[in-house]
Amino acid sequence: MKIPTNSVSPSDFIRDIIGEDIKTNKYDGRVHTRFPPEPNGYLHIGHAKSICLNFGIAKEFGGLCNLRFDDTNPTKEQAEFVESIIGDIRWLGFDWEDRLFYASDYFDKLYEFAVQLIKKGKAYVDSLTPDEIREHRGTLTEPGRESPCRNRSVEENLDLFERMRAGEFEDGAYVLRAKIDMSSANLNMRDPVMYRILHATHHRTGDKWCIYPTYDFAHGQSDSIEGITHSICTLEFEDHRPLYDWFLDQLDIHHPRQIEFARLNLSRTILSKRKLRQLVEEGYVNGWDDPRMPTISGFRRRGYTPEAIRDFCERIGVAKNESTIDIALLEHYIRQDLNKRATRVMAVLRPLRLVIDNYPEDSVEELVAINNPEDAGMGTRKVPFSRVLYIERDDFREPPPKKWFRLAPGREARLKHAYIIKCERVVRDEKTGEVIELHCSYDPETKSGEAKAGRKVKGTLHWVSAAHAIDAEVRLYDHLFLKENPDDVGEGSDFRANLNLHSLETLTACKVESSLAGAKPGSRYQFFRLGYFCVDPDSSDGKLVFNRTVSLRDTWAKIEEALRNG
Catalytic residues: 38, 263, 273
Residue nearer to ligand ATP on the CB measure, 262 or 426: 262
Cα–Cα distances in angstroms (integers) from residue 387 to residues 348, 358, 364, 407, in the given order: 17, 8, 8, 17
Contact 555, 328 (CB under 8 A): yes
Span of 30-38, 414-422, 446-454, 479-487 interacting with Mg ion by CB under 5 A: 30-38
Strands 388-392, 347-348: parallel, antiparallel or unpaired by DSSP? Answer: unpaired
Span of 41-49, 381-389, 455-463, 469-477 interacting with ligand ATP by CB under 6 A: 41-49
Work out how close the CB of 47 gets to ligand ATP at its nearest, in angstroms, rounded to a whole number.
5
Written as one letter, the residue type at 398 is E
Q: Out of 27, 31, 50, 248, which residue is the one contacting ligand ATP (CB under 6 A)?
A: 50
Residue nearer to Mg ion on the CB measure, 38 or 238: 38
**Residue 162 touches ligand ATP, criterion: CB under 6 A:** no
Work out how close the CB of 219 gets to Mg ion at its nearest, in angstroms, rounded to a whole number.
10
**Residue 234 touches ligand ATP, criterion: CB under 6 A:** yes
Binding positions for ligand ATP, 241-280, rule CB under 6 A: 263-264, 271-274
Work out how close the CB of 40 gets to ligand ATP at its nearest, in angstroms, rounded to a whole number.
7
**Residue 47 touches ligand ATP, criterion: CB under 6 A:** yes
Contact flags string 273-312 toward ligand ATP, x per CB under 6 A: xx--------------------------------------
Helix (H, G, I), strand (E, B) or coil at 565: coil
Neighbours of 212 (CB within 10 A): 23
Interatomic CA distance for residues 74 and 82, integer angstroms: 13
Q: Which of 303, 327, 324, 400 is nearest to 1 (CA)?
A: 324
Q: Which does 381 bind (CB under 5 to 8 A by kind): Mg ion, ligand ATP, none?
A: none
Work out how close the CB of 138 gets to Mg ion at its nearest, in angstroms, rounded to a whole number.
25
Q: Which residues contact 225 (CB under 8 A, 6 or more apart)?
A: 106, 109
Interatomic CA distance for residues 435 and 393, integer angstroms: 9
Residue nearer to ligand ATP on the CB measure, 256 or 351: 256
| DSSP string for residues in 228-251 | -SEEEEEGGGGGGHHHHHHHHHHH
Binding residues: 38-40, 44-50, 70, 215, 234, 263-264, 271-273
Q: Out of 14, 31, 42, 46, which residue is the one contacting ligand ATP (CB under 6 A)?
A: 46
Q: Which does 179 bind (CB under 5 to 8 A by kind): Mg ion, ligand ATP, none?
A: none
Contacts with ligand ATP by CB under 6 A lie at: 36-38, 46-47, 49-50, 233-234, 263-264, 271-274
Contacts with Mg ion by CB under 5 A lie at: 38
